[in-house]
Amino acid sequence: MNNDKLKQSLRNFAYAFGGLVTVFAFATIGYYILGNGNASWLDSLFMTVITIAGIGYGEITEGANTPHGRTFTIIVTIFGIVAMTYIVTNVTAFLVEGHLNNFLRRKHMQKRIEELKEHYIVCGVDGVGNHILNELATTKREALMVDISPEQLDRAVKIYGMPHLEGDATDEAVLRQAAINKAIGLFVATGDDNVNLVIVLTARQLAPNIRIVCCIHNAKNMDKARNAGANSVVSPTFIGGLRMASEMVRPTVVTFLDIMLRDKQKNLRIEEMEIPKELAGKSVSALELKTHPHTLLMSIKHESDWVYNPADGYKLSEGDVLVFMTTPGARTEIEKLLNEVASRG
């Protein structure tokens, strides 16, 4: 159920209960007046309740048994039945159409979103976004899906089961609801370059330090995305062209990478991790990476330089970034290991 339908259902409930309250107030005041001061407000309210509910205890207030009182009771009964019928109709529609269940699910989902931190936000779950979600799910990274299409979002939820938010990511309120202030990364991957540019610009204003990776289909818009605030811009057509060229001139390498990514048993990935500052000055051997048999240290990024296949004696510096091949599970263990080594001094 979208927001418009939910708001309409809530408006219908408000009208129904507002009408019923109005009937109760009108009837209670009327019976009090008919009682010529001999009926209490409680008696007048009680007369209203039994009249509208059709309980039939009889006229318990003075004046209700007169011709004017009976005429008034008929009017109260008619309006009370109309109000009650309108309420029952809306409650039935709310339950039958699944609005209540959907409303509760939305409340539960919002609670999950509020608990998120250091997560990734994926704007656009179809096409490129679907592949992003698959990689995040495979590598066990916390992510939130955002899409304006309820149908596409429902399909993605069935596949990945991630927290999700239906809405227009160009809207500041939607990005705030996605907890962008606590996220560490934003993927902008809708099928429209103009929409992607607006999302990047809006997100950068809300979260100046978040890393943004933007998908751009028209190469002419790549510089615009960078100027809007994207840290990285990816063109599917450009990447596709490189892949086709690689398939032709280095097919074995491509096959190796494909197998590495699709192997469900080893599930290897190229990962990166900045070393804790306490490890500055220590050698690579002190990291104890060889205790993980499925981990291969490939390179170290030192400022703007790269050290490929670093020797065990290479001295680390603050800010160095390790680039290694490993499994998603081992990545988490390595992160813990580095923190333990750093704490030991």
pLDDT along the chain (345 residues), means of 10: 63 80 86 77 81 67 69 83 81 64 72 90 95 91 94 92 93 95 96 96 96 94 96 92 89 82 73 90 89 88 92 93 87 86 79
* Cα Dmax for the chain: 106
CA pair distance 219, 224, nearest whole angstrom: 10
Which own/partner contact pairs does 151-156 have at CB distance under 8 Å and 24+ positions apart? 152/125, 152/126, 153/125, 155/125, 156/125, 156/126, 156/129, 156/130
User: What's the CATH fold of domain 267-344?
Assistant: Alpha-Beta Plaits (3.30.70)
Residues of the chain with CATH 3.40.50.720: 116-240
User: What's the pLDDT score for residue 333?
Assistant: 87
Contact 31, 51 (CB under 8 A): no
Among 49, 68, 50, smallest CA distance to 58 is for 50
Residues of the chain with CATH 3.30.70.1450: 267-344
User: What's the pLDDT score for residue 13?
Assistant: 75
Sheet arrangement for strand 164-166: 164-166, 143-147, 120-123, 185-188, 211-215, 232-234
User: What's the CATH fold of domain 3-97?
Assistant: Helix Hairpins (1.10.287)
Residues of the chain with CATH 1.10.287.70: 3-97
Report domain 116-240's class: alpha beta
